[in-house]
Amino acid sequence: MIYLDHAATTPMRPDAVAAMEPFLRATFGNPSGVHGISRDAKNALEAAREEAATLIGASRPLEIVFTGGGTEADNLAVVGAALSSARGGVVTAAVEHAAVLESARFVGRMGRDVSFIGVDGHGRLDPVEVADAVGEDTAVVSIMAANNETGVRQPVTKIAAAARSVAPQVVVHTDAVQAFISEPITVAATGADLISLAAHKFGGPKGVGILYVRDGVELEAVIHGGGQELGRRSGTHNVAGVVGMVAAMRGAVAERQTFHDRVGAIRDGFEEDLRSGIPDLEINAPVDDRLVQHAHVRIPGMDAETLLVRLDQAGVAGAAGSACHSGAIEVSHVLTAMGMSGVAAAECVRFSFGWSSTPDEAAEAARLVVEVVGTLR
């Protein structure tokens, strides 16, 4: 199987697997305990926290909150920031990940003001429009660094500055889950007060993530219990997962420029091969303003679900919409927000590349896509 669905999840890096192994066996302690076995786990957890803080440019290790993944990090950011403020309003974009959208809707059901900002035909936001939606009741502005479906990047730094020019007290959150592996996601580069990351998008294990919380930002907990993570996220820590995640972060940051150049060239070659065999193929993102690992395309007249089933049979794994939904293929809210009709949206597929992708795999995948499309047509 040629795997072109790295945006859904990417294979674990060998160094992440190796880092986890001791904590799945001998060093199995609960880091909240007081004896030696627990202290070993606690020491590893805090060493990982310090390294994670360094890798994203946080000023203090305790600005790093370990979560059960990107979805939980988004929920804690949006709901936590809204509920901790008397203002409580949320401004976000219509193309956000479901974790942000549903968190915002939950806040709305509690009687808080919520605004969903539209995008242009390429899925991009205008910082001025975001700032115009910010008011006295706005507690948090949540804008993703790059879209998980199309790969389109958002001007988060400009949006953060524009929002604060209207309301200096507003908290800015960015879901950087999809962007971290190829973009320079740091506190300084984003200008955000809250940053969500998920390990399995950059070569770590599933079920573990990070929420960066700028010192001084108040969050209401959304998971209650033993008060771990300074009361911001209760629950026994997944020490092996955290250690594996930070090992993957280290590798991703060290190789980011190489990844950007190598994977970008692989993706570009793949798209060129597709265009050669499918002349009417359309790319659903601005060529110069998207993640290098994403190829989100429309093939007119070709039902995406049918195409993906046939590609799976031929040995190519792709996707339609977001893999973070229940698994059923449905009309993408991202494409709808971009103004695409339901018929056109149902003709769109996403091929995404990762650290393990190779040029030969991409070339063979393109050949198979062209072949399957030709057969179906």
Boundaries of domain holding 146? 14-254
Q: Are residues 54 and 154 both part of a single domain?
A: yes
Q: Left if phi > 0, otherwise alpha if psi is -120 to 50, otherwise beta: which for 227?
A: left
Residue 246, pLDDT score: 98
Residue 329, pLDDT score: 60
Q: Are residues 187 and 320 both part of a single domain?
A: no
- Residue 105 near residue 128 (C-beta atoms within 8 A): no
Q: Are residues 148 and 245 both part of a single domain?
A: yes
Q: Say yes or no to pLDDT of 58 above 90.
A: yes
- Told to judge if 324 belongs to the known catalytic residues of this protein, a careful annotator would answer yes
Rounded mean pLDDT, 265-269: 98
Q: Are residues 98 and 230 both part of a single domain?
A: yes
Residue 331, pLDDT score: 82
Q: What is the CATH number of the domain that holds 298?
A: 3.90.1150.10
pLDDT (tens digit, 9 = 90+) per residue, 213-252? Answer: 999 999 999 999 999 999 999 999 999 999 999 999 999 9
Sequence-distant (6+) residues with CB within 8 A of 262 are none
Determine which one of 324, 366, 372, 373 is catalytic. 324
Residue at which a domain ends, from 222, 239, 254: 254
pLDDT-based confidence at residue 81 (cuts at 50, 70, 90) = very high
Cα–Cα separations (whole angstroms), residue 214 to 53, 88, 142, 159, 306: 11, 18, 15, 17, 46
Q: Are residues 339 and 288 both part of a single domain?
A: yes
What phi, psi does 149 have (nearest 5°)? -90, -55
pLDDT (tens digit, 9 = 90+) per residue, 316-328? Answer: 999 996 544 445 5
Average pLDDT in the chain = 95
Residue 126, pLDDT score: 97
Whole-number percent of the chain with pLDDT over 90? 94
Rounded mean pLDDT, 116-132: 97
Q: Are residues 137 and 38 both part of a single domain?
A: yes
- Give the span between the Cα atoms of 239 and 37, in whole angstroms: 12
Tell which wins on pLDDT, 354 or 33: 354
Residue 327, pLDDT score: 52
Q: Are residues 154 and 48 both part of a single domain?
A: yes
Q: Are residues 56 and 71 both part of a single domain?
A: yes
Residue 36, pLDDT score: 87
Q: State the amino acid at position 172 in one-letter form.
A: V
Residue 306, pLDDT score: 96
How many structural domains does the chain have?
2
pLDDT-based confidence at residue 354 (cuts at 50, 70, 90) = very high
Q: Are residues 83 and 204 both part of a single domain?
A: yes
Residue 285, pLDDT score: 92
H or E segment and range at residue 172: strand 171-175
Q: Are residues 207 and 314 both part of a single domain?
A: no
Instruction: Return the DSSP state at 126.
Output: P
Please, what's the largest Cα pairwise distance for the chain? 66
Q: Are residues 167 and 273 both part of a single domain?
A: no
Q: What is the CATH number of the domain that holds 217?
A: 3.40.640.10
Q: State the amino acid at position 348 in one-letter form.
A: C
Residue at which a domain ends, from 230, 254, 278: 254
pLDDT-based confidence at residue 212 (cuts at 50, 70, 90) = very high
Residue at which a domain ends, from 254, 275, 298: 254
- Give the span between the Cα atoms of 179 and 267, in whole angstroms: 16
Q: Are residues 64 and 143 both part of a single domain?
A: yes
Of residues 128, 133, 83, the one with CA closest to residue 104? 83
